[in-house]
Structure 1
Amino acid sequence: MEVVINRRVRRRRRLVRLFFRLMLLSLVLVAASAVGLLSYTKMQGPPPLNVAQTTVYYGADNSPIGEHHQGENRHWVALSSIDPDVVDATIAIEDRRFYRHWGFDVNRIGGAILANIRSGSRAQGASTLTQQYARNLYLSHDKTWKRKWNELLYSLRLEMNYDKDKILEGYLNTVYYGHGAYGIEAAAQHYFGKSANRLSLAEASMLSGIPKGPSYYSPLFDLERAKKRQAVVLQSMVAHGVLNQVEADEAHLEPLEFVQKELDRPSTVGPYFQDVVERQLIEEIGVDPALIEAGGLKVYTTLDPNMQKQAEYWVEREMPDNDLQTALVAMDPRTGDVKAMVGGTDYVESPYNRAVQASRSPGSAFKPYLYYAALENGYTTASTLLSEPTTFNIDDGRKTWSPRNFNDNYANDFITLLQAMAFSDNIYAVKTHLYLGTDKAVELARRVGIESPLYDHASLALGTEDVTVLEMARGYSAFANGGSRVEPRFIRKVVDAEGEVLFESEPTLTQVLDPKLSFIITDIMTGMFDPYLNAHASVTGRSVAHLINRPAAGKSGSTSTDSWMVGYTPQLVTSVWVGFNEGTLNHSAYGQIAKKIWANFTEQSLKGQPVLPFEKPDGVVGVKINPQNGLLANEHCPTHRVSYFIEGTEPTTECPPPAENGEEVEVIDETTHEKERFLDRFFKLFGH
């Protein structure tokens, strides 16, 4: 028994000795590898501080429309000329162990590995300032092990050949802070109009949070988001021991004044459009922000340079020299390709994009969604309702509401749906909205692509819920293209410096409307430009009808603060908004500007392109009707217009002969008209 025990002891001792020998050998190999790696990086010498490649944006015709590259708007300053708060804030938020590692941080790498294992991805990074500097100077930004290894080698070469202050100085002079400002000096001048050595703690902490996402965290794009990022930076400084909590809180509360000095416009062709492209690259496609600025990308967009120049020209020509603002989106309804975009009167003064970031009430420009829903639920072009001052009981009878027509102009008679759209009659719209059920217009708007919050109350018929200019262009596209909802497309393809396609898209269309009803609502919407429909009121497009020399449909809209014009041809939908950032709008002075911009832009941007008609689908018939009473026109009511109906729903009763006293005889025995008059009697009993 003792012999067996002794054998086990000896065997255990041999295993322990073997383990320690292997461990010692491993340590020797690791030490030798480390010495070899450090010797190799030292022998390689200092890496050149070369300039990164340029990212170029291309228009729909593949011509360059803009670019981002390191080298523009850059002012190199010594580390001693940079405010210490910038240095402290940058180190605290980006790399707290900067002065204690050799280019890579084992603790951060371990933490990142654990985080990525938990999340099942490689989203969590562990790059030090040295690694970021090396990556921006020499490497691509793809997340591969090969790139990580090369990044490590370059970081070691930087650390072996340059001191820490030199590396930090290089990082602060090359990092991108947005709006064309490369380096801390350019950023300080652009955002605050001062040198980098004169920044306050609040200013320094704000700037230090931007490089993580120059478009995402720019205070000029989204101040609230930038302030949240500033708070993270300040708390990192507290944790790092360079600030106390009182100082951090005071800095966060300090108001900042942005001067936007020496803004570098990315291009004279569509700067607002390019901002949207950059955001989509980062937020939707997932491209690293640093890769956009320094990776040599080729980004092929949908922007039409000629249309963009026309949009900017007509905005500049029609807008007054004051604080009045505008936004425009032009889209090809057949593909969803965004062809032109204007987000304000001056990108330099305000890069805030009112075409996609601002939500405003569309007024009567919302009515086509309501009237299409009406066509789905039994209405026709000839459906008549009484236009007169009306008080409605709403909210289950708890409230009354008396909407008004513009200038209190009422027919005080029955009018057709055709006239209601052309004159923008509010009473007709509200009656229709309440009769259908207030959810019908909401459902239709959702179907064609309106994503902003919409509440199904009575006033929705008059466009009281806020939407964006881009959404309205998208919504009208379904009417223009025969009933398909489109996805707005800004980017066609993204190619990296090696020619590899990183992203490619195709137009996305989904059939959501009846092509026949889409054609009919389009025909109804052409009425706003038809002076032949003038009666108790003039058509709303009379002031610009002479500017359009091709088939076009549309609808204007106005509220106390907003003026809209949304219209289309078969190949182009354009949405235009005009108003002040805050405050009411004087419609007598500015009420026609949106229409003029739309009409001139539409006509001139399509100059030289085919004049296309709206294509009538099978199952739709055109008949001559009297636009006021909706009856078939004859010698007794010669005023007529060819209007369209789904086959079998067209009027069958002709205008009656005049009575002996010369007045027209009212016909109420036809089924359709009797139903419509019953509806108005219903409103008289329960709503008036």
Structure 2
Amino acid sequence: MEIIPSSRFRGTVKYIRAFIFITLILAILFTLCLAGVIALAKIEGAPPLAVPQTTIFYADDGTKIGESDNGQTRYWVNLRDISPSVIQATVAVEDRSFFEHHGFDTKRIAAAVIADIKAMSKVQGASTITQQYARNLFLTLDKTWMRKLQEALYTIRLEVNYSKQEILEGYLNTIYYGHGVYGIEAAANYYFGKSAKQLTLSEASMLAGIPKGPSYYSPFNNEQRAKSRQKIVLQSMVESGYITKKEAAAAYKAPLVYSRNHEVTKKQIAPYFQDVVKDVLRNKLGIDEQTIEMGGLRVYTSLDPKMQTIAEQQIRDTIDPASAIQVAFVAMDPHTGEVKALVGGRDYNKSPYNRAVQAERQPGSTFKPFLYYAAIRQGFTPSTEMRSELTTFTFDDGKATYTPHNYNNYYANDTITLAQAIALSDNVFAVKTHLFIGEDKLVQTAKKLGITSSLKQVPSLALGTSPVRVIEMVNAYSILDNNGKKVEPVFITKVVNHKGETIYEYNAESKQILNRDAAYVTTQLMTGMFDPKLNDYTTVTGQAVLHDITRPYAGKSGTTETDSWMIGYAPQLVAGVWTGYDRGEKITKLAEKQYAKKIWVKFMENSLKNEPVQSFKPTKGVVGVYINPDNGKLATKACPIKRLTYYVAGTEPTEYCTEHLDKKKKKAPHHKEENEPNWFDKLFKWF
């Protein structure tokens, strides 16, 4: 037996002690470094989990009408809204030790290193779900040591600040599944036409295999490779104890029915409307473009899909396909201002220019209701008479003249009432009224009604010669329909961010901006275009569509050489149509001049088909009396035609029509009539 010299023994102990000391120091340093990294992760706090997500637009019934995604589809769903089979399949095939490790799987890393050394190349990955999520969230794909270090730091930050469930939820919502699809919800919809919550074991195992190589394992690119990968996923689930071999075999054999909807270009729903919604998000709500496109917003709009479909269908059915004439259409709820349908042109793909909100065109006689509201406020009544005859007006201190013409140069060459003037669209009566009450009154009224376009204070303004937008006109008519309460066009009712927080919600404000009674009288005047009782030297302007009407409407048409308009309303809906040529060509064909009216009446009738018939409810300060429409006087039993007409209380006629009485009975009745004010009313009025 060899005896170790004491000197050698002492040397060996010295080395062992040195090794232990160095190891201890290194262990302490490693522990300190690790503690420092963890402390730093805690100090820096939870990294933001915001990732690009698809913004979705919804109609008023909750149906999806479109999305903004820049070619990428991304949705975010809670973990509880994901099929358990998806969660199990993903963990089994991607990171079996996910719930045990703290961001890094040392065993997998060691195994991967050995495998790579043996093969002399990188053949096995060791990234955990947390590492992959960190990469998806924050990092570029460049393969540098700096990127690796950043990935490790982000991984630690995620593990320190978030629960395993939160990390798994984030991973499943950000992983790439090929074909521009990110996240399990988008993948489930893309491949199988269903939500992530509805996925079966067979479907879940197929999708879980795709992220390893999205283009390589996509069933749409190569189903055989995808099935092979699915088998690996199912086997991993068996080994992890999630399912049995029998369940795996059944899932593998189960036929998969893929959704092919993505292969067909989906028809855009209300593209002009969606453009306006995005503009409102940008310019009124102050949301930046990047957030609109990929901020995961849920934008709830006012659009009624049924009304939108009706509007588009009536435009297609009415306008000759060979015609180059264009169209703009807007429908609104008069009580809320919500825009229910909008069309900015005949073909969005050919011309995205939105004529409903961008183009300014001469409104023609559709401007007259604003004039007659102003006149009623100045003392005019539906019975006010003026002569309808060719007249030349002098203005601008005698420096200029203006001669308006009626349609087809028809004139009564006699007196007509205001009620007849608006129903027959008499231009001479309108200009006389305009000059009589003062040209500033029409401008003031139009501005009150929300007309923001520039208006020229000239005699011809009464005939709508200053260009305006369709959306402005329909909104103004909504205010009249609403008895003078202010409304503004509403396109968005609510916006929810990617966290589910409501960041905007529309709240209607009720503000009376017009006199209620005068507004109601104006509405009743506008029903005249559909009432043949007001026919005189020509027929009422709504004569051509009377056979299509089944309920009370108020409205006004307007025609210039280059523009054709129709705007009108029922108590619960208002709509306006403009037709014309983009370059201002003259509308010469008779059929084209009728397009606006036909589109309007068919839209209104179809949209309200299943709604109750409503009449315009009188306000408290108006009085309805029967008059002879030919002269505006109170009708007697002898009058062949009587028409119920409304007046602001106190302005109703008191004189009876005597034109149809026998000579013996020509004197008006002396007994007290229902419409004659009593002594109290006279005293109150005097006071």
- TM-score norm. by structure 2 comes to 0.62
What is the aligned partner in structure 2 of residue 563 from structure 1? 564
What is the aligned partner in structure 1 of residue 448 from structure 2? 447
Deviation at 1:589, TM superposition (A): 3.2
Cα distance in 2 for partners of 1:423, 1:340 equals 29
Does residue 503 (structure 1) correspond to residue 520 (structure 2)? The answer is no
Q: Which amino acid is the alignment partner of residue 319 of structure 1?
A: I
CA distance 1:71–1:644, shift in 2 (3 Å): same
Q: How does 1:88-487 map to 2 (within 5 A)?
A: 154-155=138-139, 160=144, 268-321=268-321, 322-487=323-488
What is the aligned partner in structure 2 of residue 201 from structure 1? none
Deviation at 1:297, TM superposition (A): 1.3
Deviation at 1:72, TM superposition (A): 5.9
Deviation at 1:69, TM superposition (A): 2.2
Deviation at 1:509, TM superposition (A): 3.7
What is the aligned partner in structure 1 of residue 123 from structure 2? none
Q: Which amino acid is the alignment partner of residue 414 of structure 1?
A: T
Q: How many positions carry a matched residue from both structures?
A: 461
Cα distance in 2 for partners of 1:608, 1:276 equals 29
Deviation at 1:502, TM superposition (A): 1.7
Does residue 652 (structure 1) correspond to residue 650 (structure 2)? The answer is no
What is the aligned partner in structure 2 of residue 625 from structure 1? 627
What is the aligned partner in structure 1 of residue 120 from structure 2? none
Cα distance in 1 for partners of 2:376, 2:135 equals 63
Does residue 61 (structure 1) correspond to residue 45 (structure 2)? The answer is no
Q: Deviations over 1:458-505 (max 9, x none)?
A: 110000001100000110111101111211110011111210112111
User: Is residue 370–residue 433 contact of structure 1 (8 Å, CA) maintained in 2?
Assistant: yes
Deviation at 1:287, TM superposition (A): 1.5
User: Is residue 382–residue 651 contact of structure 1 (8 Å, CA) maintained in 2?
Assistant: yes
User: Is residue 53–residue 73 contact of structure 2 (8 Å, CA) maintained in 1?
Assistant: no
Cα distance in 2 for partners of 1:485, 1:547 equals 31
Deviation at 1:551, TM superposition (A): 1.3
How big is the alpha-carbon RMSD for the aligned residues of Structure 1 and Structure 2? Answer: 3.8
Q: Which amino acid is the alignment partner of residue 440 of structure 2?
A: D
What is the aligned partner in structure 1 of residue 111 from structure 2? none
Cα distance in 1 for partners of 2:599, 2:146 equals 58
What is the aligned partner in structure 2 of residue 588 from structure 1? 590
User: Is residue 557–residue 566 contact of structure 2 (8 Å, CA) maintained in 1?
Assistant: yes
Cα distance in 2 for partners of 1:375, 1:362 equals 21
Deviation at 1:156, TM superposition (A): 7.0
Deviation at 1:155, TM superposition (A): 4.9
Cα distance in 2 for partners of 1:288, 1:551 equals 45
Q: How does 1:14-29 map to 2 (within 5 A)?
A: none
Q: Which amino acid is the alignment partner of residue 441 of structure 2?
A: K
User: Is residue 449–residue 475 contact of structure 1 (8 Å, CA) maintained in 2?
Assistant: yes
CA distance 1:462–1:155, shift in 2 (3 Å): same
Q: How does 1:519-538 map to 2 (within 5 A)?
A: 519-538=520-539
Q: Which amino acid is the alignment partner of residue 331 of structure 2?
A: A
Cα distance in 1 for partners of 2:510, 2:60 equals 19
Cα distance in 1 for partners of 2:326, 2:663 equals 55
Deviation at 1:649, TM superposition (A): 1.2
User: Is residue 568–residue 576 contact of structure 2 (8 Å, CA) maintained in 1?
Assistant: yes
Q: Deviations over 1:230-281 (max 9, x none)?
A: xxxxxxxxxxxxxxxxxxxxxxxxxxxxxxxxxx988532110000001111
User: Is residue 487–residue 509 contact of structure 1 (8 Å, CA) maintained in 2?
Assistant: no
CA distance 1:302–1:397, shift in 2 (3 Å): same
CA distance 1:384–1:265, shift in 2 (3 Å): farther
Deviation at 1:429, TM superposition (A): 0.1
User: Is residue 331–residue 576 contact of structure 2 (8 Å, CA) maintained in 1?
Assistant: yes
Deviation at 1:70, TM superposition (A): 4.1
**The residue matched to 1:510 in structure 2 has which SS?**
coil
CA distance 1:507–1:587, shift in 2 (3 Å): farther
Cα distance in 1 for partners of 2:69, 2:275 equals 15
User: Is residue 325–residue 579 contact of structure 2 (8 Å, CA) maintained in 1?
Assistant: yes
CA distance 1:396–1:499, shift in 2 (3 Å): same
Cα distance in 2 for partners of 1:594, 1:395 equals 35
Q: Deviations over 1:512-534 (max 9, x none)?
A: 11111111111110010112221
Does residue 551 (structure 1) correspond to residue 562 (structure 2)? The answer is no
CA distance 1:623–1:661, shift in 2 (3 Å): closer
Deviation at 1:365, TM superposition (A): 0.4
Cα distance in 2 for partners of 1:265, 1:535 equals 55
**The residue matched to 1:390 in structure 2 has which SS?**
coil
User: Is residue 65–residue 267 contact of structure 1 (8 Å, CA) maintained in 2?
Assistant: no
Q: Which amino acid is the alignment partner of residue 154 of structure 1?
A: F
Worse-matched range after superposition: 606-615 or 402-411: 606-615
User: Is residue 337–residue 507 contact of structure 1 (8 Å, CA) maintained in 2?
Assistant: no
Cα distance in 2 for partners of 1:405, 1:332 equals 33
**The residue matched to 1:543 in structure 2 has which SS?**
helix
Q: Which amino acid is the alignment partner of residue 498 of structure 1?
A: K
User: Is residue 59–residue 303 contact of structure 2 (8 Å, CA) maintained in 1?
Assistant: yes
CA distance 1:573–1:281, shift in 2 (3 Å): same
User: Is residue 624–residue 632 contact of structure 1 (8 Å, CA) maintained in 2?
Assistant: yes
Deviation at 1:608, TM superposition (A): 0.8
Q: Which amino acid is the alignment partner of residue 297 of structure 1?
A: L
Cα distance in 2 for partners of 1:597, 1:626 equals 33
Deviation at 1:380, TM superposition (A): 0.3
CA distance 1:161–1:615, shift in 2 (3 Å): farther
**The residue matched to 1:476 in structure 2 has which SS?**
helix
Cα distance in 2 for partners of 1:614, 1:162 equals 73
Structure 1 residue corresponding to 2:614, chosen from 612, 615, 629: 612
User: Is residue 474–residue 485 contact of structure 1 (8 Å, CA) maintained in 2?
Assistant: no
Q: Which amino acid is the alignment partner of residue 540 of structure 2?
A: V
Cα distance in 2 for partners of 1:609, 1:162 equals 67
In percent, how many aligned pairs have the same letter? 49
Cα distance in 2 for partners of 1:330, 1:658 equals 44
Q: Which amino acid is the alignment partner of residue 303 of structure 1?
A: L
Deviation at 1:350, TM superposition (A): 0.7
Cα distance in 2 for partners of 1:61, 1:549 equals 27
Q: How does 1:76-95 map to 2 (within 5 A)?
A: none
Q: Which amino acid is the alignment partner of residue 463 of structure 1?
A: G
User: Is residue 329–residue 578 contact of structure 2 (8 Å, CA) maintained in 1?
Assistant: yes
Q: Which amino acid is the alignment partner of residue 602 of structure 2?
A: N
Q: Deviations over 1:24-59 (max 9, x none)?
A: xxxxxxxxx9xx99xx99xxxxxxxx9943211110
**The residue matched to 2:386 in structure 1 has which SS?**
strand
**The residue matched to 2:60 in structure 1 has which SS?**
coil
Q: Deviations over 1:131-166 (max 9, x none)?
A: xxxxxxx99xxxxxxxxxx99992577584799xxx
Q: Deviations over 1:378-427 (max 9, x none)?
A: 00010000000101111211122111000011011100010000000000
Cα distance in 2 for partners of 1:266, 1:379 equals 55
User: Is residue 265–residue 348 contact of structure 1 (8 Å, CA) maintained in 2?
Assistant: no
Cα distance in 2 for partners of 1:159, 1:472 equals 60
Q: Which amino acid is the alignment partner of residue 389 of structure 1?
A: L
Q: Deviations over 1:188-223 (max 9, x none)?
A: xxxxxxxxxxxxxxxxxxxxxxxxxxxxxxxxxxxx
**The residue matched to 2:419 in structure 1 has which SS?**
helix
Q: Which amino acid is the alignment partner of residue 399 of structure 1?
A: A
Larger Rg: 2
User: Is residue 58–residue 301 contact of structure 1 (8 Å, CA) maintained in 2?
Assistant: yes
- TM-score norm. by structure 1 comes to 0.62
Cα distance in 2 for partners of 1:547, 1:153 equals 60
CA distance 1:69–1:648, shift in 2 (3 Å): same
What is the aligned partner in structure 1 of residue 517 from structure 2? 516
What is the aligned partner in structure 1 of residue 601 from structure 2? 599
